[in-house]
């Protein structure tokens, strides 16, 4: 994915403790760039390499600023 146009960054997070949960957090320039990359045939083919127990849930998020706590 990092070779796709307008890709910015990615981070992989693993749950603490016994949970087998991982979260891949990727940043794209625009939502359209994300959609193009996620629908790329090579990316779609890679999904079949994951074990059957793996779940992919591609959701889009937006930064939110909370006064006195965090900036967007």
pLDDT at res. 43: 82
| Between residues 17 and 52, the one the model is more confident about | 17
71: β partners: none
Domain boundaries, the chain: 1-72
11 in Cβ contact with 1 (< 8 Å): no
Regarding pTM above 0.95, the answer is no
- Spatial separation of the C-alpha atoms in residues 26 and 1, rounded to whole Å: 9
Is residue 66 over pLDDT 80?
yes
Task: Out of 3.30.460.80, 3.30.70.100, 3.30.70.600, 3.40.630.30, select the CATH number for domain 1-72.
Answer: 3.30.70.100
pLDDT-derived band of residue 9, with 50, 70 and 90 as boundaries?
very high
Nearest of 6, 72, 2 to residue 42 by alpha carbon? 2
Place of tokens 């959701």: 59
Query: Quick one: tokens of 31?
Result: 């939502």
């Amino acid at each position: 994915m990092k070779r796709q146009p307008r890709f910015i960054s990615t981070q992989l997070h693993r749950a603490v403790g016994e949970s087998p949960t991982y979260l891949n957090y990727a940043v794209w320039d625009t939502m359209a760039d994300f959609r193009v990359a996620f629908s790329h045939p090579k990316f779609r083919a890679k999904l079949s390499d994951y074990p059957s127990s793996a779940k992919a849930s591609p959701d889009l998020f937006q930064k939110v600023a909370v006064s006195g706590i965090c900036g967007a």
